[in-house]
Amino acid sequence: MRRPLIALTLAVLAAAPARAQFGGQPSGFTVENPVMRRIWALGMDSSQVQRYGQVLLDSIGPRLVGSPGMDAAQQWLVATYQQLGITARREQYGAWRGWRRGRTHVDLIAPRARSLEAMMLAWSPGTGNRPVRGEVLLLPDVADSAAFAAWLPQARGKFVMVSFPQPTCRPDTALAGHASRDVIDRLRARRDTLQRAWQQRVGRTGIAASGTSGSRMTRVLEQAGVAGVLTSTWSQGYGSTRVFGTDTERAPVLDIGCEDYGLLARLAENRQGPAIEVTADAQALPVAPSFNVIAEIPGTDLPNEYVLLSAHLDSWDGASGATDNGTGTVIMLEAMRLLKAAVPSPRRTILVGHWNSEEQGLNGSAAFAADHPQVVEGLQASFTQDFGTGRINGISAGGLYLATGNLARWLSAMPGELTRGLSFALPGSPSGGGSDFASFICSGAPGWALGTDFVDYFSYTWHTTRDTYDKVLWDEIRSNAVFTAMIAYLASEDAERVPRDRRTVLQPGPGGQPGRWPTCPTAIRATPQPQ
């Protein structure tokens, strides 16, 4: 996310009138609007976010595009909306390769026995659910690409490590206050030196090695007949690694936990004969249709103008996809429940989009925007929540400088308990990507992100093996759902249409070139072919 030009704290919103008891919660809530009071009471006294979250994250689990988990989550969402009396549908926009994840088990079998922390990358082939044993080799330190080609036959039947082995998996922040500055500086310098040397080692092979989807190195090793490829993408947090995808067809690609990856690397480097046994269950499934889930509460006075609530349903599947983006999914579901109960006949149509394949490039939301130009043209406001589990703490006007009046009016009508400490980026800048609101702001439609406190998001939960139910702060998610329902209601009932006047001066690009309004993303509607 780009930093806003000016961040203004809405002090007026934080200065709530005298406190009152409402809905069983201590609050500065004195709004007389009966709809707002109804949303508050329902959201605070009979919240369903934790119940919804438990089903989605524990029972259904991760929601990789093309997987049975995604299909189950979409079916559950549609059924849940129907139970709430809200019209919902799955809307196809493309197709994606199918894949089912099974169990992964990896053991060190030489020079000693130990079970290792490991997981297949998404779309990896398995071992046929049978144990496969092999020696572990580090990517060799060769003179050039010819030497690497000459080495490749030695890799046949072995597991090859292609990621940089971290010298320590202890986060730098954990050392502060426990080690001297000299020790910390030497550790960082040594790590930087080793990382540069590893990058040079990879470069001399003439082949890029990342271990993620599209990696040429994994395919070259697969063609050489390796038993598997080992990667490790450390998130800079204790015990957390990031699990993405691969496009191999025969050789399993496995993420190994940071500590265990370092163990294997040291054994290999010191010629101590590391060998592992891998049992991995996975199934390639036929290409299957890709859907978004769309739910709708029809408007009465202005049915062709829209307030769109937005969150991506898909996730990577190294864990449960809790904070990316189970939290956003549950917030939008709960907000729609509150709106249906408190605002059964809104002035404008209220939609919710649970997007698919955000992780591969905003594909679901970009397809929806392209397929429904009348919705984009009729957008009064679009609110997206993606990432994290903290309280909503910021909104950017996204470069629509006159829309700041509408936003400020809506926010000032909300209880101070929900808006206290909220930062407002004025006039802000449009985002060129990163989350689904970019699919709407790109065309000048009011597409805004509801920013939250990250709560160790990038170091511990973003795309990692630790993004699970227990990391969610459910009281904050409850408040965020109430916030979202209230701002959606206020946007729907506003007598004024949100203006789309754009700021003309934008932040310079990465190379210093003049800033430009972002172009809209193009949806990838079918699984890309390996390059």
Task: Say if residue 267's pLDDT is above 70.
Answer: yes
Residue type, 291: F
Flag whether pLDDT at 393 surpasses 90: yes
Is the per-residue pLDDT at 212 higher than 80? no
How many whole angstroms separate alpha carbon 503 and alpha carbon 397?
10
What pLDDT, on a 0 to 100 scale, did the predictor assign at position 467? 97
Segment 396-423 mean pLDDT: 94
Query: Which H/E stretch holds residue 109?
Result: strand 87-110
Distances (CA, A) of 497 to 166, 227, 403, 405: 54, 61, 9, 11
pLDDT at 455 over 70: yes
Q: For 112-273, give the CATH class.
A: alpha beta
What contacts 197, CB < 8 A, 6 or more positions away? none
Q: Average pLDDT of the chain?
A: 92
| CA–CA dist 87, 81 (Å, integer) | 7
**Predicted local distance difference test score (pLDDT) of residue 21:** 30
Nearest partner of 245 among 284, 289, 274, judged by Cα: 284
pLDDT at 210: 52
Mean pLDDT of 439-467: 94
- Collapsing DSSP states into helix, strand and coil, what is residue 2? coil
Which pLDDT does position 281 carry in this prediction? 97
* Percent of all residues in the chain with a pLDDT value above 70, rounded to a whole number: 93
pLDDT of residue 387: 85
Helix/strand/coil (H, E, C) string of 300-343? CCEEEEEEEEEEECCCCCCCCCHHHHHHHHHHHHHHHHHHHHHC
User: Is pLDDT above 60 for 380?
Assistant: yes
pLDDT recorded at residue 32: 79
Domain 7-17+34-97+287-493: give its CATH architecture: 3-Layer(aba) Sandwich (3.40)
Structure tokens at 193: 């030196």
User: What does the pLDDT look like over 27-45, one tens digit per residue?
Assistant: 445 567 999 999 999 999 9
* CATH 3.50.30 domain residues, the chain: 112-273
Round to whole Å and give the CA distance between 205 and 203.
5
Note the pLDDT of residue 432: 82
The pLDDT tens digits for 104-151 are: 999 999 999 999 999 999 999 999 989 999 999 999 999 999 999 999
Alpha-carbon distances, residue 306 vs 79, 478, 497 (angstroms) = 23, 24, 11
The pLDDT value recorded for residue 20 is 28
430 beta partners: none
Helix axis angle, 474-493 to 327-342, nearest 10°:
50
The H or E element containing residue 496 is none
396: its two tokens: 């950017």
User: Model confidence over 173-184: pLDDT tens digits?
Assistant: 888 888 899 999
Omega prior to 33 cis, within 30 of 0: no
d(CA 312, CA 9): 28
- Give the pLDDT score at 319: 97
Residue ranges, CATH 3.40.630.10, the chain: 7-17+34-97+287-493
- Name the pairing type of β-strands 302-312 and 253-256: unpaired
Quote the pLDDT of residue 531.
65
Q: Which residues contact 101 (CB under 8 A, 6 or more apart)?
A: 62, 64, 67, 120, 122, 282, 317
Please determine, for residue 8, whether its predicted confidence score (pLDDT) is greater than 60: no
pLDDT in tens, 486-521: 999 999 999 999 999 999 888 887 788 888 999 999
- Pick 365 or 211 by higher pLDDT: 365
Q: State the pLDDT at residue 174.
A: 87
Q: Is the pLDDT of residue 364 over 60?
A: yes
**Is this prediction's pTM over 0.85?**
yes
Q: What is the pLDDT of residue 9?
A: 37
